[in-house]
Structure 1
Amino acid sequence: MKRILAGRWRPREFAPLTAAIAVAGAGVAGPGRRVLGAVVGAVVPSIVALSVSRRAAPGSSPADAITFVRAGLAGCACAAALAPPTASEGLRTWAVAGFAIPALALDAVDGPVARATGTDSPAGARLDMQTDAAALFMLSTVATRVVTPWAAGIGAARYVFVAGSLLRPAWAGELPPSRRRRAVAGLQGVVLSVALAPVVPLPIARGLVIGGAIALAGSFGRDIWLLERRVARQAGSTRGGWAERGEWAAWLRRHRDDDSSRAATAGERRRSRREGRVVSERRTTVGVVA
């Protein structure tokens, strides 16, 4: 524990811990599914350990250790969901909730720990985000089976967005920080934690999952709208800028011609009035002299 808190947890030490998670996954999966449980339990922790070991700087940080533990708990929750339903608890068991709830709760711990220990980095932030997405995907798969198919949207939303960015480059743009986005993302962990708890009535759990999925879809929809609007503005400033300048120049020419024509017409009217006044004065003068 002292080595972990000091940030001296070497990547090679992930191997026995990953093996321990695989054994735990095999144990909670039940007879006949132990091999599958071991694979499901260890796949995400193995990816986390591999990501940490590939970094340029040796060793790992305390936040990486928390991320690794969170991935292991999510894997064990999925392995526990492979077990046959019990007569007393049904599909939602405390074995699943006992792993899932701590895994989702630790999502709020690794970031502050990284900042408090001065070990936060872009690589750690990416690992945290990818682990969050993987954990949500795995636990939402469990919730899809035991609560409602709407839970699949919670886990698949990010991956659908990433796949869409490959087809639509506008979606790959950088989004500004948003409290709304963070709140909706954090809500998904709360929703899944409550929904997987056997003590919560199933209709309430379904309603919470459906509400969370709708909120997440709305958040992603707003982000897509912001990205598309930014691209439209940039396209308008480049393509439409010259058009607007051309229209402005044409408008100036028209109004300049109109002003010139008005000035010419007004000048002709003044000359005609002056000439008419001069002619009338001449006639009056001639009449007086006569």
Structure 2
Amino acid sequence: MFLPSRQHSGKAPPAQRRPSTFAELLLGLAVVLALGGALGLGLGAPPATLALAAACYALLATLVARFHRQPTGLGWANRVTLARGVLVALLAGSLAEPSLIARHAWFFAAMSGTALLLDGLDGWVARRTGTASAFGARFDMELDAAFILVLCLALVAIDKLGPWVLAIGAMRYAFVLAGWRWPWLAAELPASRRRQAVCVWQVATLLLALLPPVSPVPAGYLAATALLGLTVSFAVDIAWLRRNAR
């Protein structure tokens, strides 16, 4: 899901850094299992939903454990991001039963909205606690990409939009893959308010498109604006990378 940061070159010994981090990641897994079980009891979610949610969270936790470099646990900002990861894993798990999303669209929209609010909270916590890091920024960014892809898959799964909307969720991953072929695309980009705004707009429009009162036609227009904004944003970044590579 995300890649190691170049700003952290050394590894703390496992005895110093892993127990606390692993405990926090295991706690997150326990929350996924508890909430997934509650979805089964309250909404009639099948066991496949819990299994897929747990698998998605396990992938997230494995990557965090692999690339986190701090010796004293995740820190508060990354804990907020991890909480968002729990919600994204549960949303991803619901893809195992698309009719569940269709029947309880308001509930899943509220869950998605909570994840969006947490997206703004983790950066604020990082600044207030002085715990901003390259890992935290990358963790946040890659989880944003996964969240957007899950929302796109949900819209296709409930037959609200066609497969074209997957281009929104896949563009970030296509860009990363292209960086393996053309290394100049993998260079570090400067911070950008434009990029942040486009990300928020993507999540907001996809979330609105999920709501029951929004029919497929306006949902398509909303998603199209997100795709257009994302395409323009990537074009600007690619032009900047190409110019600086020269």
Matched to 1:206, the amino acid is: G
Contact 1:187 1:212 in 2 (8 A): yes
Partner of 1:60: 74
Q: Give the letter aligned to residue 181 of structure 2.
A: L
Change in Cα spacing, 1:198 to 1:228, as seen in structure 2 (3 Å) is: same
Letter in 2 for 1:99: M
Structure 1 residues 84, 60: closer, same or farther in 2, change over 3 A? closer
* Alignment pair present for 1:105 and 2:111: no
**Count of residue correspondences:** 221
TM-aligned CA deviation for residue 165 of structure 1: 0.8
CA distance in 2, matches of 1:36, 1:178: 37
2:213 corresponds in structure 1 to 199
Residue number among 126, 134, 147 corresponding to 1:122 in the alignment:
134
Deviation string for 1:47-69 (max 9, x for gaps)?
465257x4232122111111011
Q: How far apart, CA to CA, are the structure 2 residues paired with 1:25 and 1:141?
A: 19
Residues 92 and 216 (structure 1), Cα distance of their counterparts in 2 relative to 1, 3 Å cut = farther
1:15 CA drift (Å): 0.8
Instruction: Give unpaired runs (5+ residues) of structure 1.
Output: 1-8, 235-290
Other-structure match for 1:182: 196
Give, in whole Å, the separation in 2 of the partners of 1:67 and 1:168.
31
Normalising by structure 1, we get a TM-score of 0.67
Classify the secondary structure of the residue corresponding to 1:200. coil
Give the C-alpha shift of residue 96 in structure 1. Answer: 2.1
Cα gap change, 1:57 to 1:41, in 2 (>3 Å)? same
Cα separation, 2, equivalents of 1:114 and 1:98: 25
Q: Does the 8 Å CA contact 1:51/1:127 hold for their aligned counterparts?
A: no
Pair 1:22 & 2:21 matched: no
Q: CA 1:22/1:101 → structure 2, altered by over 3 Å: closer, same or farther?
A: same
2-side partners of 1:118 and 1:32: how far apart? 41
* Aligned residues of 1:63 and 1:111 also touching (Cα < 8 A): yes
1:220 and 2:220 correspond: no
Question: Offset at 1:183?
Answer: 1.6
CA contact (8 A) 1:25 1:42 kept: no
Contact 2:98 2:157 in 1 (8 A): no
- 2:99 aligns to what SS in structure 1? coil
- Structure 1 letter corresponding to 2:126: A
Question: Where in structure 2 are the equivalents of 1:134-153 lying within 5 Å?
Answer: 134-146=146-158, 147-148=160-161, 149-153=163-167
Distance 2:119 2:150 in 1: 15
* Shift in Å, 1:116: 0.8
**Cα distance between partner residues in 1 of 2:219 and 2:104:** 11
Matched residue of 1:199: which SS? coil
Distance in 1, Cα, partners of 2:35 & 2:118: 19
Report the alpha carbon displacement of residue 163 of structure 1 after superposing the two structures with TM.
Answer: 0.4
Letter aligned with residue 65 of structure 2: L
Deviation at 1:92, TM superposition (A): 6.7
Distance (Å, rounded) in 2 between the aligned partners of 1:97 and 1:185: 17
* Stretch of structure 1 that moved more, 188-197 or 199-208: 199-208
Counterparts of 1:192 and 1:47 in 2: how far apart (Å)? 28
In the TM superposition, 1:165-176 aligns within 5 A as: 165-176=179-190
Q: CA 1:132 to 1:185, structure 2 compared with 1: closer, same or farther past 3 Å?
A: same
**How far off is 1:41 after superposition?**
5.3
2:51 to 22, 25, 36: 36
What's the C-alpha RMSD, in Å, of the aligned pairs? 2.6
